[in-house]
Structure 1
C-alpha cells in the first residue's frame, strides 16, 4: 500500500522511446533509432542504420559468404529517455540497404520485439535480476473487495441534506506466503486533487489495487510472466470473463543493497511491455458485482492464494481449457464441445480419483484370457483396447458428485441424461466426424452445462462455501441461462430421449 509514485506503463497506452541501440556482444556499435509500442501491434524498433541480419560465414580471411535465411537476436540493448531498455525475442521485419546507391544515405531497418523491459539491461528472460513482481489486471479491485476510499452522505429527515465527505484511509495489508513466495494485496492511490476548470471544479482521487509478489531469491522475467498468468487466471475464473493485463512492473534487484553513503539503495522500477492474451483497459467499467463468482469477501485473500497456487499447478491443463472458452470467440460449437468435454476429462484425471471399473484382480486374468484367443499378429493392437479405465460417462458422473449437490441439481436437473448425451455427442464427433443425433441447440446446451460443471468443481476445490455455490448458480445471469438450457434440452421432461 503506497501513495502513487511514478505511474506504471499501461499496456493499453502507446509509447515511444528515441535513443541508441546495440547488440550485447558489440556494445561499441550503437545505432540510433526509435522504439514504438502500440497496444494492437506490439513493439517495433525503427533504426537509422542496421544490424547485420544476413546469415554469413567467413570460410577464409577476407572471404564473406552469405547464406539463405535471416538472423534473429535474443536481446537488443538500448538507452533512451534516461533509462536502460532491453528488447527480447527480436527479429527483422523490414530494411533498406544503400549498396551501390548513387547518393550514399543511412541504411534503415525495422525490428520487431516480443518483450521490452523499460528500465534494465538483462541478458535473457531467464536471468535472475528482479526482486519483486507487481501485477494489475482488470477487475482486480472489484475482486479484492477493499478500497482506500470512504464516503459519507449526510441526511436530514431521511433525505440528503447536501453534506458529504470522500476521504482516503489506508487499508490493512493482506499478505500470505506460499512456498517461500510472498503475495501481498496492495493499493496505489492518490490524495485528493482539485482541478480548477473554467466552468467548475472537479475533485479527484484514484485507487488502484494490485498484487505484489516477492520471492526469497531473485526471479527472472519468465518467473514474473508465470506469476502474472497465475493472477490473471484467478481473476478470470472469479469474474467468469477474460481478464486483461493492465500493467506488469518489476523491481530490479540491486547488486549491493547498501549505497556508498551507507543508506539503502532504492529499488528501481522496470516496466514490462508485451502482447498478453488480452490487453486490459484500465478505464473501462468494472464487472457488475453480481457477475463475480467470488471475491475476497467470500474467500479471504490469505486463504484463496495458497489454494489457487496449488490448484493452478495441479489442475492447470483443465483450467487452461475451460478459461480458454472465455478468451476465444465461441464461433464453432464442435470446437467448443471438444474443449469443454476435454476439460472435464482432464479435470477428473487431475483430481486423481480414478478407480478401475473392474477390480484389478478380476480384470487382469480376464484380459490375459482374451489376448490368448487373439492371433499373435493382432495381439498388440487388441492389447491397447483392453483398458480398465473409467469411461467418459463415469467421469462426468464423478464430477457431478463433487460440488454442493443442491447447487448442482439447480444447474443440471437430470445428471443421467446430461452424461449420456454429452458422451454420445463427443463420441459421434470424435469417431464419425459429425453429430447427427444432436440438434445444434442441444450441442450448445451440452457445451454450456459441461463448462459450468467444470467451473463449479473448480470453485468447490477452492473451498467456496456450499451456500455461495448455490447463490452463484441461482443469481449469476449466465448460469441461470445455462440451467434453463439444461431443463429444455438435457432433461427427460424437456427433450425426447
Structure 2
C-alpha cells in the first residue's frame, strides 16, 4: 500500500532536487538511493562545494587538505520533502578544463534520511509519536489479529474452515509520562491470482507506538527504537532487527498543515540500526524465547525494562554484543563476558567495601608513608577498597532464584575461581596457559548465562520461569552441561 512504512530491508530510490539549508535557491538535481548493505548514497548531477578553502588576503584563495561535510541537506523528491543528516562526500568529478563540458558529478553518503519533512538537525523536537516494528515483536507480544477455524465434524476434518481477522485491544502503559502501546495493523484481504491457483492474503504487523510526554527529535526516536529492539533481542535471545521506524509530526509544524489527508503526517526514517530487520524472515522458535507477554504482561515489563535499560545498559550492551557481533576469538569473548558480569554488578549499586572505610583509610596512609615519592601515585592507585572480581561473581550467583542458579552452575566456587584466574591471566600475562580451550568456552558461556539470569531476575521474571528456562532452553541447557562437565571440582 502507498501508505506503508518504508522497510529498512528493502531498496529505495528518490529522484529530485537537493540543496543546502542556507542556500535554498541553489538547487542541484540528483538521485538518492538506499539499500540495507551499503546505506544511503546521493548522486548529484552538479556539485556542492566540498573543498576546504580560506582567503588569507584579498584575491588569494588557499585550498586545504580534506573535504567539507554537511550536517543537513534538504531535498524534494517523489512529491515528498527529504532531509539528509550527517552527509559526507565520497566521490567528486569536476569537468573544469575538459574538452567536452558536462555537468559535474558528485556522490555523497548520509547517515540518516528523513522522508516527509525538512528539519534543521537531529535534535529538533518536532515529532509527537514514534512507531517502530521489530523482528519477532509479534511473537513476543503474544497476541494476534488472526483466528483460524477448521471444520471437523465427528472428529474428521472435512476440508472446510475459515481464517478471520479480529480487532485486538491495544495494550498500553505510561512510564514517566511517556505512553507505550503495543498495536496491530493489517492489510485489506486480497486474492493473488496465479496460473496454478489462487492465494488469499492478509498481512498483519505488530508494532510499538511511543507517545512521549513532550515532542521528540529524530535522535530521541532512535533511542526509543533501540530501547524496544534491545528488549526483543534479550527476550528472544537472538539479534532482533528494526524493520521500520515511522514518526508523526507534531501539530503546529509546517508540514502538518496539509489538506491532502492524515497520512501526510507520517515521516519515515531510514538509518542503520545495529541490525536491519527482514519482515519476511522466519520467526524465532518458541522454545528459544526466554519470555513473552504471556509470562510478563506488557504493562508490567515495559516499566521494568525502562528502568533496567537505563541502569544496566553498559552490561546489557556487552551481552547483546555477543548476539549481534560475536568475536571470532575466544579471548575477546572472555573479556566481554567477564567484563559484562563486573559491569553489571557495579551497575546494581550494591557495592560494599570489603573493609570499613574508617579502617581502610588510615591503613592506606600508613602504607604510603613507606613508599618513595616517585612511586606514590602508582601504589596509591592500586590500593582500592573495592570488591574483587571473584566476590562480584559470588554476589551475582546469589541474586536470581537459587534453584535455577544451582541447575545452571552446580559448583559456583569452581566457576568463580576459574573465571577469575582466566581473566587475570589474560589481562596481566597476555595468555591463559592454565585453561584448556574447551574450559575457556565454558567460562564464556556460563558467565554470559549468569548475567542473563540476573537480567531476567531484574525484570521480574518469576522463579518458576527462571527454572524452566535453565531446564528447557536449548542453549542454557547446553551451558548447564558445560558447567557440570568442565567447571566442577573433582571432589564434588
Regarding TM over 0.5, the answer is yes
Q: Which moved more, 1:210-219 or 1:371-380?
A: 371-380
Q: How has the CA–CA distance of structure 1 residues 34 and 494 changed in structure 2, closer, same or farther, with 3 Å as cutoff?
A: farther
* CA deviation after TM superposition for structure 1 residue 46, in Å: 0.6
Distance in 1 (CA, whole Å) between partners of 2:319 and 2:226 is 15
Matching residue within 313, 323, 328 for 1:326: 323
Distance in 2 (CA, whole Å) between partners of 1:163 and 1:251 is 43
The answer as to whether partners of 2:326 and 2:333 remain within 8 angstroms in 1 is no
Q: Which moved more, 1:187-196 or 1:432-441?
A: 187-196
* CA deviation after TM superposition for structure 1 residue 162, in Å: 1.8
The answer as to whether partners of 1:487 and 1:494 remain within 8 angstroms in 2 is no
The answer to whether structure 1 residue 115 and structure 2 residue 122 are counterparts is: no
Ranges in structure 2 where 5+ consecutive residues have no aligned partner: none
The answer as to whether partners of 2:249 and 2:255 remain within 8 angstroms in 1 is no
The answer as to whether partners of 1:190 and 1:205 remain within 8 angstroms in 2 is yes
* CA deviation after TM superposition for structure 1 residue 263, in Å: 12
Residue 219 of structure 1 aligns to a residue whose secondary structure is coil
The answer to whether structure 1 residue 221 and structure 2 residue 218 are counterparts is: yes
1:232-251 CA-to-partner distances (Å, cap 9, x unmatched) read: 10001000011111111111
Residue 368 of structure 1 aligns to a residue whose secondary structure is helix
* CA deviation after TM superposition for structure 1 residue 353, in Å: 1.1
Matching residue within 26, 41, 56 for 1:44: 41
The answer as to whether partners of 1:345 and 1:392 remain within 8 angstroms in 2 is yes
Structure 2 residue aligned with 1:80: 77
Q: How has the CA–CA distance of structure 1 residues 76 and 487 changed in structure 2, closer, same or farther, with 3 Å as cutoff?
A: same
* CA deviation after TM superposition for structure 1 residue 436, in Å: 0.3
1:42-73 CA-to-partner distances (Å, cap 9, x unmatched) read: 01111111111111223455543322221111
* CA deviation after TM superposition for structure 1 residue 15, in Å: 0.5
Structure 2 residue aligned with 1:205: 202
Structure 2 residue aligned with 1:34: 31
Residue 234 of structure 1 aligns to a residue whose secondary structure is helix
Matching residue within 366, 370, 388 for 1:369: 366
Matching residue within 432, 440, 444 for 1:443: 440
The answer to whether structure 1 residue 274 and structure 2 residue 285 are counterparts is: no
Distance in 2 (CA, whole Å) between partners of 1:365 and 1:63 is 67
The answer to whether structure 1 residue 340 and structure 2 residue 337 are counterparts is: yes
The answer to whether structure 1 residue 307 and structure 2 residue 304 are counterparts is: yes
Q: Which moved more, 1:59-68 or 1:386-395?
A: 59-68
The answer to whether structure 1 residue 394 and structure 2 residue 391 are counterparts is: yes
Structure 1 residue aligned with 2:142: 145
Distance in 1 (CA, whole Å) between partners of 2:400 and 2:170 is 32
Distance in 2 (CA, whole Å) between partners of 1:50 and 1:364 is 65
Distance in 1 (CA, whole Å) between partners of 2:63 and 2:374 is 54
Q: How does 1:150-189 map to 2 (within 5 A)?
A: 150-189=147-186
1:293-316 CA-to-partner distances (Å, cap 9, x unmatched) read: 000000000011111111111101
1:201-223 CA-to-partner distances (Å, cap 9, x unmatched) read: 21111111011011121110100
1:21-47 CA-to-partner distances (Å, cap 9, x unmatched) read: 001010001100100001100011111
Structure 2 residue aligned with 1:296: 293
* CA deviation after TM superposition for structure 1 residue 260, in Å: 8.5
1:136-174 CA-to-partner distances (Å, cap 9, x unmatched) read: 111111100001111111212222122211111111110
The answer as to whether partners of 1:248 and 1:272 remain within 8 angstroms in 2 is yes
Q: How has the CA–CA distance of structure 1 residues 30 and 257 changed in structure 2, closer, same or farther, with 3 Å as cutoff?
A: closer
Matching residue within 427, 431, 436 for 1:430: 427
Ranges in structure 1 where 5+ consecutive residues have no aligned partner: none
TM-score norm. by structure 2 comes to: 0.96
Residue 124 of structure 2 aligns to a residue whose secondary structure is coil
Q: How has the CA–CA distance of structure 1 residues 157 and 494 changed in structure 2, closer, same or farther, with 3 Å as cutoff?
A: farther
Q: How has the CA–CA distance of structure 1 residues 62 and 423 changed in structure 2, closer, same or farther, with 3 Å as cutoff?
A: same
Distance in 1 (CA, whole Å) between partners of 2:384 and 2:327 is 34
The answer as to whether partners of 1:33 and 1:48 remain within 8 angstroms in 2 is yes
Matching residue within 129, 133, 136 for 1:132: 129
Distance in 2 (CA, whole Å) between partners of 1:321 and 1:375 is 40
The answer to whether structure 1 residue 385 and structure 2 residue 379 are counterparts is: no
Residue 93 of structure 1 aligns to a residue whose secondary structure is strand
Q: Which moved more, 1:58-67 or 1:207-216?
A: 58-67
TM-score norm. by structure 1 comes to: 0.95
Q: How does 1:346-357 map to 2 (within 5 A)?
A: 346-357=343-354
Distance in 2 (CA, whole Å) between partners of 1:438 and 1:87 is 51
Structure 2 residue aligned with 1:11: 8
